[in-house]
Amino acid sequence: MHHQPSRRTVLATAAATAVTAGAFAAGVPSAQAAVPDRRLIRAIIARMSRAEKVGQLFVMRVYGHSATDPDPADVATNQSEMGVSDAAELIAKYHLGGIIYFSWAHNTRDPHQIADLSNGIQRAGLAHGTPIPLLISTDQEQGAVARIGCPATLFPGGMALGADGDPHDARAAAHVVGTELGAMGVNQNFSPVSDVNIDPANPVIGVRSFGADPQAVAALAAAQVKGYQGAGIASTAKHFPGHGDTGTDSHFDLPVITHSLDEWRRIDAPPFRAAIAAGIDSIMTAHILVPALDDSGDPATLSRRILTGILREELGYDGVVITDSLGMAGVRQKYGDDRVPVLALKAGADQLLNPPLLDVAWNAVLDALTSGEITEQRIDESLVRILELKARRGLFRNPYVTHQGVDRAVGIRSHLATADRITDRTVTLLSNPSRILPLPRRAHRNLLVVGADPAAPSGTGGPPTSVLAKALTDLGHPAQALPTGTAPGRAVIDEAVAAARGKDGVVIGTYNVTAAAAGQIALVEALVATGVPVVQIALRNPYDIAWLGGVAAGIAVYGWTDVSMRAVARVLAGRAAPTGRLPVAVPRADDPEQVLYPIGHGLKYR
């Protein structure tokens, strides 16, 4: 049975709701206000049609930089995937409760454009049927996952903050990010990652996690919740009940977590408990199997035992539960796309994120509501949570932003200085047997930077440069950039060896080195064989050094963005001291059961 979404524009209903929203806003003096009177929320819900109620549950992607005038290619994609031309039509047709921004969907060109897009989305939400502002979300975790780039202020990701280990820094970073997102009209960040990463081979979490120590992760997660929400936006702890101990990526398959119930309570639960204690607005589910928590074979996203029995009843959480993307393979293997959203709601989810086919998912939920499989009372419970979150974040009072607000907040000097200061404290010196670091200016005047550090045109007509090479050059260590990528062949290796001749040192950026990374290992071996000192920098996972012998020094920076490259350059040049400590253990390459460097390892300059 197919239902056409309601396009009601009954002026009396809209006006009545606007009055209610105004009274509602009057009781919410700030974005950090206490939860408003639920009677006002229920009054809004009582005026909503079933179609509007269903729409409020969905958070959806949309293509384009503008809510009403996207580029023709984005119009075509929207038509193909959702049967609409733009965000405004999508919101009008499905009464959506939220929109998620992606760079690949062309939503995030620059801060002023993002602000205009956000305002257009909010105008669309307030123009149709029952006027309700939207939650506008994104994944601005920092580090490996950041949907909005420069000139917004960028920080290193979770594991780098774990290496710093200071909750005050984690909170400060989140406050800066939250302030800038809010200025651009993004009022919900899907961060912090609260998974405890204890599997070095984890392909989907890894450096997105704060580390492998549950208590340390819990402290940093709670700090970031307070930072984001102190800046006035919603924070989202993810991925419940814990995605840190798996070698499988839930984007492409269904991971199985083999922790016992006691292990789950000891390892995975503490960060979520801490986030809840810190007042977290929303928690995102994981598409994983955890047999010790639910042996039904259903992923956590669809498990009533996990979402209601454990999250709500055992942990006492009464905020918004949002699914991870319903387009991921981990949640689509057992049931069809028409059943997944229905089962997620029955399990205890409130928001349904980014289904692959919105029409199928939306109508399936409306069918379930019409048939009585899901009661209206159950839907209303989710609506109360969602609308309370919107009210708590000030959206009923004023959902709009301005260019002036963007200019006062995004990428300002004080924020950039905070990012540099915190990032300096994340750089971790793992080995320095020859005491080559810090680089003495006179003995190491000419350097070669190779590896995965991306080179870019110099802009001067000269040879390519890179952020790291330029930063070293600016600090008095002239550096030539020769990007060799993550899988260099023999010709590239020979070119690097030739370029190393006559240099005072080589700095190589490695990226996720394992036994399969034969090219990177061979490159390091060939450079070491030249006799020129080689300094290795792990640009993502800190485990690389276990596979690389003979290097003069090894450093972990847990990320490859500009802010991390500038920080490691300062450490190499002795302008900043290495103070980072490993938040995970680095196992030996030849015997993974043995630890090469334990949690907490990190050298200092003497």
- Active-site residue set: 251, 324
Structure tokens at 201: 């081979």
Q: Residue 139: in which H helix or E strand, if any?
A: none
How many residues are there in the chain? 606
- Its sign, for the CA torsion 493, 499, 503, 508, is negative
Distance CA 569, CA 449 (A): 11
Structure tokens at 492: 């590239």
- What are the phi and psi torsion angles at 442 (to 5°)? -75, -35
What interhelical angle do 340-347 and 376-392 show, nearest 10? 80
Residue spans of alpha helices (H) in 231-357: 261-263, 269-277, 304, 340-347
Q: Rounded CA gap, 325 and 214, in Å?
A: 25
Rounded Cα distance, 591 and 546, in Å: 10
Beta bridge partner(s), residue 447:
479, 505
Handedness of CA 255, 258, 262, 263 (dihedral sign): negative
CA distance 50 to 42: 14
Alpha helices for 304-411 (secondary structure H): 304, 340-347, 358-371, 376-392, 403-409
How many whole angstroms separate alpha carbon 322 and alpha carbon 32?
A: 21
